[in-house]
A and B are shown apart, each in its own frame.
Chain A
Amino acid sequence: MSREPWNEWKDAWRDTPPIDVERLRCHVDGKHRRMRWFVAVEVLVSLLVLAHLAWRYDAAAEGSPWRVLILCGVGLVVASQVLMLALRRGTWRGNSAAPVDLLRLTIRRANNGVRLIVAQWIGFGTVVAVFAAWYAWVRPSLDAAAQSRLDHAMEISALAQVPIAIAFAAWTAWHVPRLRRRRADAQRLLRDLDRD
C-alpha cells in the first residue's frame, strides 16, 4: 500500500485552535434578537396601515367607490405581508438538507427570485391599471370641485410612483444578473458534485 501519512493528516487536522464559544453564542443571540425585532416592526407597520385603512373605510360613505379602493389596499397589504413572512421562512429552510439538495434549492430560489421580480412588475402594472380604471369609473360621477380635488390627488399619486418605478427598475437591473450568476455558480458546483 501507499506510504500515505493519513494518521499525520488526522492529527494535524484535529489540532484546532481554541474556539471562543461564548462569542459564537453572543453572535447568535444578537442576530436572533435583531431578526425578531425586524419582523415585529414589519408586522407592526402592516397593522398600522391596516388600522388606518379601516378608519378610512369607516369614514367613507356606504357604497362609495373609495371603499372599493380601500378594500383593494387591505388585500395588497395582507398579501404582501403574508408573502414576506413566507419568503423569510423559506430563507431558513434547507439548513439541514443534503448539500446536493441545497444546491438544487439554491437554483430553484434563484429561478423563483427572477420570477418574483417579474411578478412584482406585473403587480405594479396591475395596481396602476386598477387605479386608472377606478379613476375613469369614478371621475364622471363627481361634481366639478370634487373632480378637481381628485385630479390633484391623482397627479400627486402618479408623481409619487415615478421615483418608485425608477428605483425598482434600477434594483431589477442590479439584482437579476446577481441571481443569474448565483444560479450559474450553483449549477457549476452541482456539476462538480455529480462528476465526483
Chain B
Amino acid sequence: MSRSERESRFADALRDHAGLIARIARTYEADATRCEELRQEVSFALWRALPAFRGEASMATFIARIAHNRGVDHMLARQRDSGGAPLADDCPDPLPEPAQRVEAGERQARLVAAIRRLPLGMRQVVTLALEGFSNVEIAGVLDVEANAVDARLSRARRRLRELLGDET
C-alpha cells in the first residue's frame, strides 16, 4: 500500500467511523481528557494497522476490534499508573458541545456509565450490539463463538436493565 493510498484510506476511515471510535472509547474511560487521549491512541493504532486490512471483514468491524484492543490496553495502563501524556500543543482545541445536546448527553452518559460497570466481556458485546453489528460480526470481532455472543448479550442486557433501573 503506497503512502498516499494509506493516507486516503485513513482519512476516509476516520471520517466515516470517528463516532464509532468515540463511542467505544467512552466505555473504557470516563474522564473527558483521557477519553480524548484514548481516541487519539485508537486513531494512531488504526493508522498503524491499516496495511493489515485485507477487506475480509468490513472496515467498521476492523476499527471496532482495534478500538476495543486499545481500550483494554488503556485500562491496563490506567490500572498500572494514573499518569497520562499531555495533548499535543500543535492541534486545534476540541469542538465545544452545543447546549441543546445536554439532555441527550445526560441520557447517553447514564447508559455509558452503566455499560462501564459491566464485566469486560459483556461490555464489549453490548457495545458492538448497540453499534448495530450482527452476532456473527460480533463473534468475528471478538474471536468467540456466536453462541457465546448470544449468552453474553442476554446476560449483559439483563444486567444493564438492573443497573439503569436502580438509578431511576
Contact = CB atoms under 8 A, between A and B. Distances in A.
Interface residues of A, number: 47
Q: Chain A at the B interface: mostly helix, strand, loop or mixed?
A: helix
Interface stretch (A43-51, A70-78, A128-136, A180-188): A180-188
Contacts of B91: 23, 26-27, 30
Given A96-B65, A178-B80, A20 B11 contact: no
Interface string A13-36: 111111111111111101110000
A22 B10 CA distance: 12
Contacts of A92: 45, 48
A192 B157 contact: no
Interface of B: 10-11, 14-15, 18-19, 21-23, 39-40, 43-49, 52-53, 62, 65-66, 68-70, 72-73, 75-76, 79-81, 87-88, 90-92, 94-95, 97, 101, 104-105, 107-108, 111-112, 119-122, 124, 130-132, 141-144, 148, 152, 155, 157, 160-161
Given A25-B11, A196-B121, A97 B47 contact: no
Interface of A: 2, 4, 6, 9-10, 12-28, 30-32, 92, 94-103, 106, 178, 181-182, 185-186, 189, 192-193, 195-196
Contacts of B68: 99
A18 B143 CA distance: 31
Contacts of B44: 27-28, 31-32
B88 A26 contact: yes
A195 B155 CA distance: 12
A21 B104 contact: no
Contacts of A97: 65, 69
Contacts of B53: 96
Given A24-B43, A189-B76, A196 B152 contact: yes
B154 to A, nearest CB: 10
Contacts of A20: 92, 94-95
Contact of B108 (A15, A21, A26, A189): A15
A189 B88 contact: no
A102 B15 contact: no
B34 to A, nearest CB: 14
Nearest to B40: A27
A28 B40 contact: yes
B23 to A, nearest CB: 6
A179 B38 CA distance: 21
A95 B66 contact: yes
Given A4-B157, A196-B152, A96 B62 contact: yes
B80 A181 contact: yes
Nearest to B14: A21
A141 to B, nearest CB: 53
A195 B120 CA distance: 10
A175 to B, nearest CB: 11
Contacts of A178: 80-81
Contacts of A103: 72
A102 B11 contact: no
A74 B51 CA distance: 34
